[in-house]
Amino acid sequence: MLVVIAIFAFVGTIVTRAIVLTLQGTQKSTSIVSARENLDYAMGIIERQIRNANSITSDCFGNPSTEIDYVDQDGSPGSFSCQGTGSIGSYIASGSATPANSLTNSSVEITGCSFTCSATGTTPPVVSISLTVQNAATSGIGGGDVSSSTQIDLRNY
């Protein structure tokens, strides 16, 4: 009788661990998908605006910055910036956006952000963007960082 109880306890422990690991994996996947969606949306907006800009007006040439200023195809000034990088409530702002109007929602935290510009001769400037986000609601084994980097050539230079 004791042997049967020990076998059931052992099997119960194995099954419980398998269920817990499955739930943790599901939570991490959901967290990463949410962060990836936010990051892809923000990068899409930034890429489109920078690619069609007439010029870059910020001092990001050779120096990584958390903000980039530009003049759009209509001659209007615009900017993108990372606000509160590495802290709770951080977001990517377009122009003078407030957290309520930012490119990322409150479910993600910006953990890394850099805009770097370069230009050689008469070729259009190139803007390198690197962003890293994580789900603000999860941490440790249930969370994960999502990164994206791109280089954008200005078309209307």
Q: Are 55 and 77 in contact (CB under 8 A)?
A: no
Dihedral (C-alpha) 8, 13, 18, 23: value to the nearest 10 degrees? 120
What is the overall mean pLDDT for the chain?
85
Residue 157 pLDDT exceeds 60: no
Give which of 136, 90, 135, 96 is closest to 113, Cα–Cα: 90
Reported pTM = 0.77
Q: What does the pLDDT average to over 45-72?
A: 87
List, for residues 77-115, the tens digit of each pLDDT value: 988 988 888 888 888 888 766 665 788 887 888 989 999
3-state helix, strand, coil in the chain (%, to 5): 35, 30, 30
Q: Which two tokens stand for residue 77?
A: 């000034």
Domain residue extents for the chain:
2-153
Q: Which residue has the tokens 């910055």?
A: 65
